[in-house]
Chain A
Amino acid sequence: MKNLGKFGMYGGCYVSELLIPVLSEVEAAFLQYKDDPEFLEEFHTLLKDFAGRPTPITELPTLSKELGCTVVLKREDLLHGGAHKTNNVIGQALLAQRMGKTELIAETGAGQHGVATAMVGALFNIPIKIFMGSKDIERQRPNVQRMELFGAEVIPVESGSKSLKDAINEAMRYWTAHSSSTYYVFGTVAGPHPFPELVAFFQKVIGEEARAQCLERYGKLPHTVCACVGGGSNAIGIFRAFLDDKNVKLVGVEPAGEGIATGKHGAALCEGRPGSLHGSYSYCLQDSDGQIQEAHSISAGLDYPGVGPEHSALKDSSRVQYIAVTDKDAVEAFLMLTKKEGIIPALEPAHAIAAIKQIATSLKQEDILLVNLSGRGDKDLDHIISYLKNHE
């Protein structure tokens, strides 16, 4: 390892000795190609021609008027695949190809990262295995079918809580045993070094575009940038470009689930404490012994007890303010954006939308509130409809 991927005191590479050789290999490839013009050219060409970048920014006419500030969305929902995940999987698949790996594996919770990985597997004609908790397979049938249509093998994970964290454990296990031929396409800015840095590198295009688009359209930077945080890749993707703009406020929105007080939430940064999970030292939900607790959120994509280590460092330095939004508020925001602006958000960024009312109270009409709309909500329709039925 050339370094340990530290973000302040967070990050690191807390894995079995057996995974060190392949992680060193990934790190070496990443360091070699991240500044390689040919690699970057291929990456950006695929982002443009296959995925549809740049994604636009959209000013919301009704909500801007109602809230008294200029609400602007970064439209990652319009990216091919329906979410920002596509950026990361294209980058990592190219890296895997350069490394001569002949099989890709990935974990998935809601299925979005699994679908994205299966999609590039089809594009690059590489066999794909997706590890998915058996509980999630039940909850996310349509995404399982999409992965299988792309030709991926979906492997049900029956261990532990049978959800995302267990899928990660199982994928790590498989990788340990098959590291010479296999590349693990990690889905978010968490996990062992070099994944937090590597995934951020492939996602930072979101913020770079949005920053330039704001300057071009408004001649100024946003007052506040807001994004939802599960593992945290869409948030890091948009925050990175603004970290040095000290006047731009950054807000990360975690899932408060059924309410922080109920204990049924996924707010690792707001309510957890630092610990070691899935290879990195970062905030996570755990009991006093250090046993990892299950997260709860209406949004499967935010249903994770850990969070990327860069977020932990950004929390401690107060560069980013982290807040939490309940299932109920996220569903209301989902309906609000759909009815008032004609855009169906995924349940994940609906958490960020839910936060804008509160953020707007300290903003003036001309202040820009930029929200990362990280994915579209088609996948959530069944879920929302049954939620509304049960909560009438």
Chain B
Amino acid sequence: MNNNPYQSAREKKGKPLFIPFVVLGDPNKEKSPKIIKTLVENGADALELGLPFSDPPADGPVIQAADTRALTSGICIDDCFDILKEVRSFTDIPIGLLVYYNLVLQRGVEKFYADCAEVGVNSVLIADLPLEHANEVVPVAKKHGIAPVMLVSELTTDERMEQIAEIAEGYLYVVSYVGITGVENAVLEQNVREILEITRKHTNLPLFVGFGINSPEQVRATVNAGADGVIVGSRIVREIMTPKRIGDVCFELKSAI
């Protein structure tokens, strides 16, 4: 798996990766790349970036507000690809997208993944595309060299886990606990450890843990539980209107690893 940028980053680093999440275009087209640059300068080992969507039921209120902010500022999906291109010009760390399926469908599956490849995106996770429908995009994603990332949780049966592990590439997004992103103090080290142990039986992909990780203590607990990476969304997004704080928060969370 030398061609897996996530695996390479993990190996090179020798410890778990810190992966902040923000929504592309939040709060607007001009500020968004600067915010992402701040994250890179403050310790991001990889980036998880969302395309803003009008109806994001898999996200919590903080991320939805970010989507609304970006869309209200007039951002369109072409703008998001422009921002991605700009981001790629100042960093070579892995970039993953988190999107909703309708945005992929309306751009056209083929064009969407071709555009991702062109701007240097490494992976795409479609929040509302479960295993049952994965074959609608996975062959196209792989053709363009984009890793299809999939999500597992404590609710995922062994049988599904096996099938998911078979088609996923890049990394597996492991849900820290079943609920919604951005809920405080919900990461239990033990819970994460158990899910990771089960998941590890099925795959050699890096296991990145996300959902509800908001404090340095929770980052540390996730790392102690054996995660290969920690994804933090809401905690970062909450600071979007005070860009000075973003760097500090990012650095503080990163330092907990």
Choose one: B60, B105, B160, B178; the contact of A276 (CB below 8 Å). Answer: B105
Q: Is B185 among interface residues, defined by CB-CB distance under 8 A?
A: no
Q: Is A14 among interface residues, defined by CB-CB distance under 8 A?
A: yes
Q: A18 touching B153 by the CB < 8 A rule? A: yes
Q: Is B141 among interface residues, defined by CB-CB distance under 8 A?
A: no
Q: Which residues of B contact A13 (CB under 8 A)?
A: 130, 132-133
Q: Is A16 among interface residues, defined by CB-CB distance under 8 A?
A: yes
Q: Which residues of A contact B127 (CB under 8 A)?
A: 16
Q: Measured between alpha carbons, how far is A4 from B130 in the docked complex, in Å?
A: 11
A-side interface size class: 35 or more
Q: Is A263 among interface residues, defined by CB-CB distance under 8 A?
A: no
Q: Which residues of A contact B65 (CB under 8 A)?
A: 159
Choose one: B58, B61, B64; the contact of A16 (CB below 8 Å). Answer: B58
Q: B155 touching A286 by the CB < 8 A rule? A: no
Q: B55 touching A165 by the CB < 8 A rule? A: yes
Q: A21 touching B77 by the CB < 8 A rule? A: no
Query: Which of A110-118, A170-178, A212-220 is the interface stretch?
Result: A170-178
Q: Is B165 among interface residues, defined by CB-CB distance under 8 A?
A: no
Q: Measured between alpha carbons, how far is A12 from B133 in the docked complex, in Å?
A: 8
Query: Which of A288-296, A341-349, A382-390 is the interface stretch?
Result: A288-296
Q: Is A142 among interface residues, defined by CB-CB distance under 8 A?
A: no
Q: Measured between alpha carbons, how far is A275 from B103 in the docked complex, in Å?
A: 9
Q: Measured between alpha carbons, how far is A279 from B57 in the docked complex, in Å?
A: 10
Q: A290 touching B107 by the CB < 8 A rule? A: yes
Q: Which residues of A in the span 3-19 have a Cβ within 8 Å of any Cβ on B? A: 4, 12-19
Return the chain A residue nearest B128 by Cβ.
A14
Choose one: A17, A19, A169, A177; the contact of B55 (CB below 8 Å). Answer: A169
Q: Measured between alpha carbons, how far is A179 from B153 in the docked complex, in Å?
A: 13
Q: Measured between alpha carbons, how far is A289 from B54 in the docked complex, in Å?
A: 11
Q: Which residues of B in the span 119-172 have a Cβ within 8 Å of any Cβ on A? A: 127-133, 150-153, 155-157, 160
Q: Is B180 among interface residues, defined by CB-CB distance under 8 A?
A: yes
Q: Which residues of B contact A20 (CB under 8 A)?
A: 130-132, 155, 160
Q: Is A40 among interface residues, defined by CB-CB distance under 8 A?
A: no
Q: Which residues of A contact B57 (CB under 8 A)?
A: 15-16, 168-170, 172-173, 176, 278
Q: Is A149 among interface residues, defined by CB-CB distance under 8 A?
A: no
Q: Measured between alpha carbons, how far is A48 from B60 in the docked complex, in Å?
A: 42
Q: B77 touching A16 by the CB < 8 A rule? A: no
Choose one: B56, B61, B105; the contact of A275 (CB below 8 Å). Answer: B105
Q: A173 touching B180 by the CB < 8 A rule? A: yes
Q: Is A160 among interface residues, defined by CB-CB distance under 8 A?
A: yes
Q: Is A123 among interface residues, defined by CB-CB distance under 8 A?
A: no
Q: Measured between alpha carbons, how far is A300 from B71 in the docked complex, in Å?
A: 25
Given contacts A13-B133, A172-B57, contact A279 B128 (CB under 8 A): yes
Q: B102 touching A1 by the CB < 8 A rule? A: no
Total residue contacts A-B, CB cutoff 8 A:
110
Q: Which residues of A contact B130 (CB under 8 A)?
A: 13-17, 19-20
Choose one: B76, B100, B105, B151; the contact of A17 (CB below 8 Å). Answer: B151
Q: Is B243 among interface residues, defined by CB-CB distance under 8 A?
A: no
Q: Measured between alpha carbons, how far is A376 from B58 in the docked complex, in Å?
A: 36
Q: Is A277 among interface residues, defined by CB-CB distance under 8 A?
A: yes
Q: A277 touching B179 by the CB < 8 A rule? A: no
Q: Which residues of A contact B131 (CB under 8 A)?
A: 17, 20
Q: Measured between alpha carbons, how far is A279 from B128 in the docked complex, in Å?
A: 7
The contact string, 1 if C-beta is below 8 Å from chain A, for chain B 65-95, is 1001001000011000000000000000000
Q: Which residues of A contact B68 (CB under 8 A)?
A: 159-160
Q: A160 touching B64 by the CB < 8 A rule? A: yes
Q: Which residues of A contact B54 (CB under 8 A)?
A: 160, 291-293
Q: Measured between alpha carbons, how far is A13 from B157 in the docked complex, in Å?
A: 18
Q: Measured between alpha carbons, how far is A173 from B178 in the docked complex, in Å?
A: 11
Q: Which residues of B contact A179 (CB under 8 A)?
A: 155, 178
Q: A290 touching B105 by the CB < 8 A rule? A: yes
Q: Is B242 among interface residues, defined by CB-CB distance under 8 A?
A: no
Q: Which residues of B contact A279 (CB under 8 A)?
A: 128
Q: A275 touching B106 by the CB < 8 A rule? A: yes
Q: Is B97 among interface residues, defined by CB-CB distance under 8 A?
A: no
The smallest C-beta distance from A374 to any residue of chain B, in angstroms, reads 26
Return the chain B residue nearest A171 by Cβ.
B57
Q: Is B21 among interface residues, defined by CB-CB distance under 8 A?
A: no
Q: Which residues of A contact B230 (CB under 8 A)?
A: none
The smallest C-beta distance from A187 to any residue of chain B, in angstroms, reads 16
Q: Which residues of A contact B156 (CB under 8 A)?
A: 17, 21
The smallest C-beta distance from B106 to any residue of chain A, in angstroms, reads 3
Q: Is B6 among interface residues, defined by CB-CB distance under 8 A?
A: no
Q: Measured between alpha carbons, how far is A13 from B129 in the docked complex, in Å?
A: 8
Q: Which residues of B contact A170 (CB under 8 A)?
A: 57
**Which A residues lie at the B interface, using CB under 8 A?**
1, 4, 12-21, 159-160, 165-166, 168-170, 172-173, 176-177, 179, 275-279, 286, 288-293
Closest 5 CB pairs of A and B: A290-B106, A177-B179, A172-B57, A169-B57, A290-B102
- In addition to A4-B132, A165-B55, A177-B180, 11 A-B residue pairs with Cβ atoms within 8 Å of each other are A4-B133, A12-B132, A14-B133, A21-B155, A176-B178, A176-B180, A179-B178, A276-B102, A279-B128, A289-B76, A289-B103
A-B contacts, 29 of them at CB < 8 A, read A12-B133, A13-B132, A14-B101, A14-B129, A16-B57, A16-B128, A17-B131, A17-B151, A18-B151, A18-B153, A18-B155, A18-B175, A18-B178, A20-B130, A20-B132, A159-B68, A160-B54, A166-B55, A169-B64, A176-B180, A179-B155, A276-B101, A278-B55, A289-B103, A290-B102, A290-B103, A291-B53, A291-B71, A292-B55
